[in-house]
Amino acid sequence: MKPKRFALTPGEPAGIGPDLCLLLAAHAQPHPLIAITSRDLLLERAAQLGVVVDLLPVAPDSWPDVPAPANSLYVWDTPLNARVTAGQLDKANAAFVLETLTRAGQGCLDGHFAGMITAPVHKGVINESGIAFSGHTEFLADLTHTAQVVMMLATRGLRVALVTTHLPLREIADAITPERLERVTRILHADLQEKFGIARPRILVCGLNPHAGEGGHLGHEEIDIIEPTLERLRGEGMDLRGPLPADTLFTPKYLEHCDAVLAMYHDQGLPVLKYKGFGAAVNVTLGLPIIRTSVDHGTALDLAGSGKIDTGSLQVALETAYQMAETRL
């Protein structure tokens, strides 16, 4: 099977993203993996970590077709705006972070990369630089002109997608409209088919309120919005079960018979998934015309340059992107 090229963005340069890339390079990947970042940054961090890595320069006119050997890494050099000190944020490099994402995303759109894998960014420092930024998901949606995307995290034996993502609790109920719920469910169903090769996805849907509303005694969103929307989609042949109480849905009785869970909000579904698989989970953006996966953790500024990190989540993100690219219809 012919190898496919993938892009890797190390995220916040002062965080552990560059460390992860360097440690990952110790083992050969099955596909050409191209780190889009500053070569100088990697050289400095490698010296700090005591890691010996051969950084192989590549560019749009010299894409590799074979994987890099062990202890080496393809690098598409992207200049920093300011020198980096591990663990110390600098808003001067916010534009650099976004440039790496733009290069990776546009490279996927142009067919140079089969997918992109992202290490964590620091939203706060990007916003402090004067650039409005709410996250990878929204940035890539804008870049690819995608109207609606869906965040899904996955680990062994569990996938959890979200109807709403980074919203204050006070705003969540108003954000769950029939239109939004239908769009998210359709995207989840379609990408489970197209990008994960599941012919007939089985999806469990959480209620919004405790006990899924307790028949209207604890809220009416299930009666007025969630159940009617699911019923319409069931009429099209989708295998949807719910709305179910979130406190009992995440049990083997239900999970062993599903391909994904659709949670209404961020902290309803993700604490369960991260408890089950933190360090071995992956963040997948559904609905994009490209493949994008990410680690399940943050920038860990306090660990940058220490060598005391685990590449497990990044390896899972890579493997998931590879599998999605092979499965994609």
266 has binding-site annotation: yes
Q: Does the structure show a pLDDT above 60 at 1?
A: no
Both 190 and 213 in a single domain?
Answer: yes
Q: What pLDDT is stored for residue 323 in this prediction?
A: 92
Among 72-86, 218-232, 271-285, the least confident range: 271-285
31 has binding-site annotation: no
Both 107 and 155 in a single domain?
Answer: no
Q: What pLDDT is stored for residue 278 in this prediction?
A: 81
Q: Does the structure show a pLDDT above 80 at 2?
A: no
Q: What pLDDT is stored for residue 259 in this prediction?
A: 97
Both 137 and 13 in a single domain?
Answer: yes
CATH number of the domain bearing residue 201:
3.40.718.10
Q: What pLDDT is stored for residue 312 in this prediction?
A: 87
Contact 164, 172 (CB under 8 A): yes
Q: What pLDDT is stored for residue 137 in this prediction?
A: 86
Q: Does the structure show a pLDDT above 80 at 242?
A: yes
> Is 138 within a domain?
yes
Q: Which of 251, 274, 297 is the last residue of a domain?
A: 274
Q: Does the structure show a pLDDT above 60 at 80?
A: yes
Q: Mapping DSSP to helix (H, G, I), strand (E, B) and coil, where does residue 314 land?
A: helix
> Is 279 within a domain?
no
> Is 282 within a domain?
no
Both 170 and 254 in a single domain?
Answer: yes
Q: What pLDDT is stored for residue 134 in this prediction?
A: 85
| Boundaries of domain holding 165 | 150-274
Both 90 and 191 in a single domain?
Answer: no
| Residue environment code for 67-83, b if the CB has 16+ CB neighbours within 10 A, otherwise e | bbeeebbbbbbbebbee
Q: What pLDDT is stored for residue 71 in this prediction?
A: 97
Specify the number of domains making up the chain. 2
Q: What is the dihedral of CA 162, 318, 137, 97, to 10 degrees?
A: 150
Both 141 and 177 in a single domain?
Answer: no
Both 14 and 140 in a single domain?
Answer: yes
Q: What pLDDT is stored for residue 3 in this prediction?
A: 81
Higher pLDDT, 1 or 236: 236
Both 191 and 244 in a single domain?
Answer: yes
> Is 307 within a domain?
yes
292 has binding-site annotation: yes
pLDDT grade, residue 329 (50/70/90)? Answer: low
> Is 280 within a domain?
no
Contact 167, 173 (CB under 8 A): no
211 has binding-site annotation: yes
pLDDT in tens, 19-50: 999 999 999 999 999 999 999 999 999 999 99
| Residue environment code for 291-312, b if the CB has 16+ CB neighbours within 10 A, otherwise e | bbbbbbbebbbebbbeeebebb
> Is 281 within a domain?
no
Mean pLDDT of 310-327: 92
Q: Does the structure show a pLDDT above 70 at 131?
A: yes
Q: What pLDDT is stored for residue 194 in this prediction?
A: 94
pLDDT in tens, 160-199: 999 998 899 999 999 999 999 999 999 999 999 999 999 9
Both 165 and 220 in a single domain?
Answer: yes
Both 175 and 131 in a single domain?
Answer: no
Q: What is the mean pLDDT of the chain?
A: 95
pLDDT in tens, 268-283: 999 999 999 887 899 9
Both 302 and 237 in a single domain?
Answer: no
Both 134 and 227 in a single domain?
Answer: no
> Is 20 within a domain?
yes
Contact 202, 257 (CB under 8 A): yes
> Is 140 within a domain?
yes
Mean pLDDT of 245-250: 96
